Amino acid sequence: MKPRDPQQPPTPEEEPLANEGRRRFLVNSALVGTAGVAGAATGIGTLSRSPSAEAARHEAADIHVPPGQLDDYYGFWSSGQTGEVRVLGVPSMREFARIPVFNRESATGWGQTNESLAVMGESAKFQNGDLHHVHMSYTDGKYDGRYLFVHDKLNTRIARIRVDIMRCDKMVTIPNAHAIHGLRLQKVPRTGYVFGNGEMIVPLPNDGRHLDAPEHYWSVFTAVDGDTMEVAWQVWVDGNLDNTNADYSGRFAASTCYNSERGVTLSEKMRPERDWVVVFDIPRIEEAVRLGNYVTFGDNEVPVVDGRGENPFTRYIPIPRSPHGMNATPDGKYLIAGGKLSPTCSVIDTRMLPDLFDDRIGLRDVVVAEPELGLGPLHSTFDGRGNAYTTLFIDSQVVKWNVEDAIRHYQGEDVNYIRQKLDVHYQPGHINASLAETSEADGKWLMVLSKFSKDRFLPVGPLHAENDQLIDISGEEMVLLHDGPAFAEPHDCIICRPDQVNTIQVFDRNDPWWEGARRMAAEDGVTLETDNTVIRDGNKVRVYMTAVAPEYGMDHFRVKQGDEVTVVVTNLDRIEDLSHGFAIINYGISMEVNPQQTSSVTFVADKPGVYWYYCTWFCHALHMEMAGRMLVEA
Ligand code: K7E
Ligand code: CUA
């Protein structure tokens, strides 16, 4: 048979062959990709999947949320290098909203409006971020719906999102640290502290000294006050810090370390057989800060408590090398570190930590199980019925195992702790079950965030979607129900109940969100809700206008070339979902103005001429007519 022209569709006779070739190609490319990721790891052996069986189960279980019906859960997704947070419904996996945080966002004007620039502060100069983890504030170990907290690995920031309006209201750059990676919250009595891990080691302060002397490179553990969003204190540690978590007693936090040797090359980082989990005693650290027992670095005032070597504040628990995830069981008893390069997880009994800090027991005594789970265990989650679910990155599987049985096995009993292994597609990282990060884990839904989708979706060029897979864990067996394509690169997600998420649909006019515009208007003697006026102050011009569908309060305003113009728009509509926008053609200005909200933007009118401004949200039958002219005199 002559080779077929790839530009032509296959003939009916060629069709089966073409499909066969596609299958073979995809399987081969999947294997190549895996080998690249897993390095010298063993073959993955997980490509034997059965699409028809999955499809059958899909029909059996009901994840379809009919039109007009609401989802049972909210999911909040991180987005990695996209820098935003996404809001999904579970189990439908419908995406409802995106919350811009570290990224520059076109529709809302995030990164351009004065309100967002005030939140971002000096770090607004960065238009990107790397947001791996999102967590909701706690009271007594349960989600309380006040805030979401996130971090930026790329530019070393921690930020807070108001849940009621789903907008970021605080952002802080963390001094002394270099790349905030792990981020978790104090669960008890409340949040409280936001804990952030400095992942990369650098000189302290990192001001040009010790460039060629890695023995002077260090990591710090950071506690931010979640109420004020100021850095409360830091702990100077040995090694580096990867993922972190807080326990359910409120006294301890713990972080994994994959670079205990503080190497700067791959081979140096891989040297020892063991790395560690470092545990922090929060009250002792607070006491040291109170007593002035700390140092500071460079030009910041943040108290840094020395937690290196033997000290009252930290304990370094040796575990197999290069651990990654750190998860707390919802019953409050255990912290579980994912082995990554070791096929094991290390189970730490948090109830033994007080004795460890009083030196009554040895470091390894608190490790009560080290179950062998499979290749590349990264993160774990829980069903509230005593089972853990751990992602096996290299095996492309989720393993369900019983924590108490693993402990019995470690004590020498002949019990099998593995309950089930399920193929996922492919290379899973984070895993999270409904409410599993809280004491209310309810064991219904499991999300597995797979890093590779390979052949699971229609191809979209070299950059593939990630695959967020939905699994039913309510029964004895995990059942894979849904493939959820996702753009770069949701590392993590949390799933909570709708009653834990209370949003407002129409702004209160007293909302602090536009505090800057409110103050400016007061100084100009302008009332935002009623006035449509232009205030000139030298070459600074402030334009105040209202918006009521389908009209702005001003059909034109006049400025001079070179003026610094601030436009303040107040949406007077009180109707839910009636958002307006304000955009200026050829000036690159665009922002949201939601019901009863004030938004403002400042720019230089550098080009003379007529420039139409218009509304960007379809608000009315005459939405297209909702426009006006900015007249810029030469
Ligand atoms: Cu495992 Cu950054 Cu949470 Cu990603 S980390 S997977
Ligand atoms: Cu206002 Cu469209």
Q: Give the pair of three-digit tokens for residue 25.
A: 């190609």
High-pLDDT (> 70) share of the chain, %: 90
- Cβ of 151 below 6 Å from ligand 1: no
Q: How far is the CA of 491 from the centre of ligand 1 (A)?
A: 5
Report d(CA 499, CA 504) in Å as an integer.
Answer: 13
* DSSP for residue 40: T
| pLDDT value at 59 more than 90 | no
- Cβ of 617 below 6 Å from ligand 2: yes
Rounded to two decimals, the pTM is 0.91
| pLDDT value at 56 more than 80 | no
| pLDDT value at 24 more than 50 | no
Report d(CA 99, CA 631) in Å as an integer.
Answer: 34
What per-residue confidence (pLDDT) applies to 132?
98
Q: How far is the CA of 585 from the centre of ligand 2 (A)?
A: 15
Q: Which residues contact 204 (CB under 8 A, 6 or more apart)?
A: 176, 216, 218, 220, 236, 297, 298, 304
Q: How far is the CA of 627 from the centre of ligand 2 (A)?
A: 9
Pocket test for ligand 1, best of 258, 324, 466 (most atoms within 8 A of CB): 324
> Which protein residue's CA is at the shortest distance from atom 4 of ligand 1?
491
- Cβ of 178 below 6 Å from ligand 1: no
Q: How far is the CA of 325 from the centre of ligand 1 (A)?
A: 7
| pLDDT value at 503 more than 70 | yes
| pLDDT value at 484 more than 60 | yes
**Top-confidence range, 1-15, 45-59, 117-131:** 117-131
Residue 458: Cβ within 10 Å count: 7
Q: How far is the CA of 597 from the centre of ligand 2 (A)?
A: 14
pLDDT in tens, 556-582: 999 999 999 999 999 999 999 999 999
What per-residue confidence (pLDDT) applies to 63?
85
- Cβ of 133 below 6 Å from ligand 1: yes
- Cβ of 181 below 6 Å from ligand 1: yes
Give the atom of ligand 1 at the shortest distance from the alpha carbon of 430.
6
Pocket test for ligand 1, best of 130, 200, 379 (most atoms within 8 A of CB): 379
Residue 19: pLDDT band (50, 70, 90) is very low
Q: Which stretch of 37-46, 353-362, 477-486 has the lowest confidence by average pLDDT?
A: 37-46
Q: Which ligand is nearest to the CA of 548?
A: 2
Q: How far is the CA of 580 from the centre of ligand 2 (A)?
A: 4
Query: Mind giving me the DSSP string for 61-113?
Result: S-----TTPPPSEEEEE--BTT-EEEEEEETT--EEEEEESSS--TTT-TTTS
- Cβ of 135 below 6 Å from ligand 1: no
Q: Which ligand is nearest to the CA of 327?
A: 1
What per-residue confidence (pLDDT) applies to 270?
85
| pLDDT value at 30 more than 90 | no
Give the atom of ligand 1 at the shortest distance from the alpha carbon of 132.
2
- Cβ of 573 below 6 Å from ligand 1: no
What mean pLDDT value characterizes the chain? Answer: 92
> Which protein residue's CA is at the shortest distance from atom 1 of ligand 2?
580
User: Are 490 and 400 contacting, i.e. CB atoms less than 8 angstroms apart?
Assistant: no
What per-residue confidence (pLDDT) applies to 494?
98
Give the atom of ligand 2 at the shortest distance from the alpha carbon of 547.
1
Give the atom of ligand 1 at the shortest distance from the alpha carbon of 379.
1
Q: Which residues contact 616 (CB under 8 A, 6 or more apart)?
A: 107, 580, 581, 582, 583, 590, 592
- Cβ of 549 below 6 Å from ligand 2: yes
- Cβ of 152 below 6 Å from ligand 1: no
Q: How far is CA 259 from CA 86, 268, 323, in A?
A: 32, 8, 9
- Cβ of 513 below 6 Å from ligand 2: no
| pLDDT value at 1 more than 50 | no
CA atoms in the 13 A half-sphere facing the CB of 566:
21
Burial of 371 (0-12, 13-18, 19+ CB in 10 A): buried
- Cβ of 435 below 6 Å from ligand 2: no
pLDDT in tens, 286-339: 999 999 999 999 999 999 999 999 999 999 999 998 999 999 999 999 999 999
Give the atom of ligand 1 at the shortest distance from the alpha carbon of 429.
6
- Cβ of 496 below 6 Å from ligand 2: no
Q: How far is the CA of 68 from the centre of ligand 2 (A)?
A: 25
Query: Mind giving me the DSSP string for 350-405?
Result: GGGHHHHHTTSS-GGGGEEE--B--S-EEEEEE-SSSEEEEEETTTTEEEEEEHHH
- Cβ of 548 below 6 Å from ligand 2: no
- Cβ of 626 below 6 Å from ligand 2: yes
- Cβ of 580 below 6 Å from ligand 2: yes
| pLDDT value at 458 more than 90 | yes
- Cβ of 451 below 6 Å from ligand 1: no
Give the atom of ligand 1 at the shortest distance from the alpha carbon of 324.
1
- Cβ of 429 below 6 Å from ligand 1: yes
Give the atom of ligand 2 at the shortest distance from the alpha carbon of 619.
2
**What is the end-to-end Cα distance of the chain in Å, rounded?**
73
Q: How far is the CA of 131 from the centre of ligand 1 (A)?
A: 10
- Cβ of 80 below 6 Å from ligand 1: no
Q: What would the mean pLDDT of 406-420 be, rounded to a whole number?
A: 98
One-letter amino acid of 627: A
Q: How far is the CA of 578 from the centre of ligand 2 (A)?
A: 8
Give the atom of ligand 2 at the shortest distance from the alpha carbon of 623.
2
